[in-house]
Amino acid sequence: MKIKLLLLLLAIGLTAQAQTWLWPIDGHKANDNVLYVPQQHINGELNLDELFIGGEEDAQILSPENATVSSFSLTYLQSLSYLTTFSIDGKFSIEDNLKNVKAELDTKRFDPDYLTGSISLRLDDGRKIHLTGFIPERYFKTGEQIQRGQTLGTLHRSYCKIRKPSIMVSVSTRDNKPSDPMTSFGLHTTFIQPKEEIVKETFTADEAKEDFSKIMAVLKEAYPSLYDVVTPDQFSQFEQEINSELADGIDRPSLYKIMRRLEGFVHDSHISLYPDRHAKNNGYMPQIFFGWYGDSCVVTMTRKEYSEYVGRRIARISGIAADSIRNYHLPLIGNYDAAVESVKEEVLAYQCNYNSNGYWDHTIEFADGEKRSFKGSPSTGRLSGFSEHTYLGYLMQNMQQTRRMLNDSTAYLGLNTFVLNETATDEIVNYIDSISKASVPNLIVDVRNNRGGDVKVLNRILSTLLNEASRNKGAMNWVPKRGNYTSFKDCCLNYTDDMEIFPEYEPMPDGNGYYSIDEDCKQVEPDSTVQYHGKIYVLTNAGSCSAATIFPAEILRNRRGVVVGRETATAYHYMTALKFADIRLPNSGFQFQIPLVRIIYDTTQNERIPYGRGVIPDYPVEITRREIFEAPDSILTYALNLIAEGKYLEGEDPFADSDKEPHSKTRLWWIALGAALILGISGWGISRRRKIVNLTKEQQ
């Protein structure tokens, strides 16, 4: 009997041993370099069901078990509860796929270094192992058989909040519910089975109002620039209007549209409303885009098979008059600061749309009487399949890091992001050094469609262009309180309502909030070895955000060059960024990203740039019909004409007088005074009533 029992125990042990998965990083054993397990926090964000494993970059990633490829993509993990995937085109190399997707990334939201490979492997029992954080060695077809121990690629980065190379491992059940990622590797598990999420398609008035009041409370308490965007009366009026609309309950798509209206109402270049991950129409995109040029609504971009419609005038869209669509669209436009005008102008000019049925289907009635339907199509996450000879098509093909000579006297430096590693930054500095040594007289720096990035990278590049230390502008970071935001209770994913988020911030001398002066706020000193002394022309547009607003601002403020193009999306005097609250609403699950720190760039007040506006170019370039439909680079052409005509800095320095005054005072006193001026005038930047339009089939 004892022998039988021992044999049984031995058989059980062998079975358990056989079922233990292979550790996914080659050369290591289970439990090596575990960074985070379920129920641990990652920078304040609770990790529920992921296993993060570190290792040496370029270490081989192995399949933990025999499996079948279920999905294969490039992925960007924006938070532990939200990710964006990009399809991989098997006709191209992995390197080219990465390059193409990075060129189209919105770098305000995405750090290209954390774009990575992701694969799902289906086991015989129906479970799936999901691996994210590697550079694939090749294209993997869905349905392909993968062997235990087979090399999948090399270790990369899995999540932007984890700076070390790492891979993220998660497991789901046959019916796609989260499962334990630890036990099968032989680890003691910390995974807790979550309660089943119920996705609601309709909401009672109380449920809808609870979600709406939650996000409104967060904005009121934690978003420090609220009253630069709206007045308290406007905010209260908007709240009353929406609550009246929710009085009888609402369905999911309609509630999401209200959240979009809120995003447009309280617009900020750093506020984001994430797509509804439970929407039934996820993964669809329109076949056709349109915009307004003058009083005419025209087709601005289509899929290539419909390119003959580009430029055609539109009378109605899905039975609704084009003017009504425009009025509907205006309040939905967000992602710009305070009183910036360029973003609305550019969006209305060439990238509007109307999602009438949720699947981007359109019936277009053209001005000449033709009527045609366009079905929405599955999205690849890219615009590469669209017409090329349009402004949008042009932008998609010209968002690269580019360095070249345009002619014998003019160098060009294209910067589509400031999210750069040290090697890439050194390459840019070396290029500036080379044109300096060659005495190239003119440099064009292009930060159009640059969504920002690392201020340290920005300052490194600026240090080679500023011939003197940057002017003292009273720069600082400001928050209304150090933490303990009661509005975060039961809705904030990365901070608790009793957490002190800014313990290092000091009280303002006037008692109005708390401030910090970190390294990024200090003056930029000229580089001791690399210095460019020629003329600088900076190209900007409504896609220039965050650090890509600071760059032209520094050039303008220090009288070091001229700005050519269009107003930036981020305000000149301040931006709201640095730290963000990830808000998930309790009933709908809709998610917002709300910036928490007001970064005051310049306390100077004068007529050159009105408070609340972005960086306004020295040489503005208007949007033209030819630019929209034929895609010539009118801004670059204008800059080249300025160089040919010898036009550069003109008139008096608008900041000269204000720069003489504060330096006899102490720095902190000046910062407090300047900040008080900036904070005190919050709310006057946009004083007009923003009309909220409910679109109906009218104006037949």
State the Cα–Cα distance between residues 85 and 115, nearest whole angstrom: 9
Written as one string, the DSSP assignment of 183-218 is: GGGTPPP---PPPPPP--SEE-HHHHHHHHHHHHHH
Please calculate the CA angle 594-595-601 and round it to the nearest 5 degrees: 155
CB atoms within 10 A of CB 127: 17
Residue 696 has pLDDT above 70, yes or no: no
> Which of 158-167, 214-223, 276-285, 329-338 is predicted with the least confidence, judged by mean pLDDT?
276-285
Structure tokens at 95: 């390197």
For the chain, give every domain's residue range.
34-185, 203-266+476-516+574-605, 284-388, 398-473+519-571+609-650
- Residue 590 and residue 610: Cα distance in Å, rounded? 35
The phi, psi pair for 263, rounded to 5°, reads: -60, -35
Question: CA quadruple 241, 698, 691, 614: dihedral positive or negative?
Answer: positive
Determine the pLDDT at residue 132. 97
Between 552-561, 610-619, 671-680, the lowest mean confidence (pLDDT) is in: 671-680
DSSP assignment letter at 485: -
pLDDT of residue 7 exceeding 60: no
Q: Are 114 and 102 in contact (CB under 8 A)?
A: no
Residue 54 · residue 165 · CB < 8 Å: yes
Residue 576 near residue 266, CB atoms below 8 Å: no
**Percent of the chain surpassing pLDDT 70:** 86
Residue 370, pLDDT score: 95
Determine which of 61-70, 315-324, 532-541 has the lowest per-residue pLDDT on average. 315-324
CATH code reported for the domain at 34-185:
2.70.70.10
Q: Which tokens is 289 given?
A: 């885009």
Q: What is the pLDDT of residue 655?
A: 86
Span 457-485, average pLDDT: 92
Q: How many CB atoms lie within 10 A of CB 688?
A: 8
CA gap 614, 595 in Å, rounded = 18
Residue of 81 and 245 predicted with greater confidence = 245
- Token pair 């960086």 is found at 615
Name the residue type at position 619: Y
Residue 381 has what pLDDT?
57
Q: How sure is the predictor about 316, in pLDDT bands with cuts at 50, 70 and 90?
A: very high
DSSP single-letter state for residue 441: S
* Tens digits of residue pLDDT in 255-297: 999 999 999 999 999 999 988 877 766 667 888 888 888 788 9
Average pLDDT over residues 152-166: 94
pTM above 0.75, yes or no: no
168, 133 contact by CB (below 8 A): yes
Q: For residues 55 and 34, what is the distance between their CA atoms, to the nearest angstrom?
A: 9
φ/ψ of 362, rounded to 5, equals: -130, 140
Question: Residue 32's pLDDT band (boundaries 50, 70, 90)?
Answer: very high
Residue 670: its pLDDT value, please?
42
313: β partners = 298
Residue 15 pLDDT > 90, yes or no?
no
For tokens 């392909």, name the residue.
Answer: 144
Alpha helices in 407-529 (DSSP H): 422-437, 455-462
Q: Is the pLDDT of residue 693 over 50?
A: no
The count of other CB atoms within 10 Å of the CB of residue 672 is 21
Query: Measured between alpha carbons, how far is 402 from 542 in angstroms, rounded to an integer?
Result: 20
What residue type is 427 in one-letter code? Answer: E
Distance CA 246, CA 254 (A): 10
Q: What is the pLDDT of residue 666?
A: 39
* Angstrom distances, CA of residue 302 to CA of 15, 305, 317, 325: 57, 8, 15, 18
From CA 696, how far away is CA 53, in angstroms rounded? 53
Q: Which range scores top for mean pLDDT: 188-192, 655-659, 661-665?
A: 188-192
Of 327-331, 464-468, 478-482, 517-521, the poorest mean pLDDT is in 517-521
Closest CA to 36 of 22, 24, 21, 53: 53
Evaluate whether the domain defined by 284-388 bears CATH number 1.10.357. Answer: no
pLDDT greater than 60 at residue 10 = no
What per-residue confidence (pLDDT) applies to 150? Answer: 96
Dihedrals phi, psi of 576, to nearest 5 degrees? -120, 115
Residue 117 is encoded by which pair of tokens? 């490979």
Look up the CATH architecture of domain 398-473+519-571+609-650: Alpha-Beta Complex (3.90)
Average pLDDT, the chain: 85
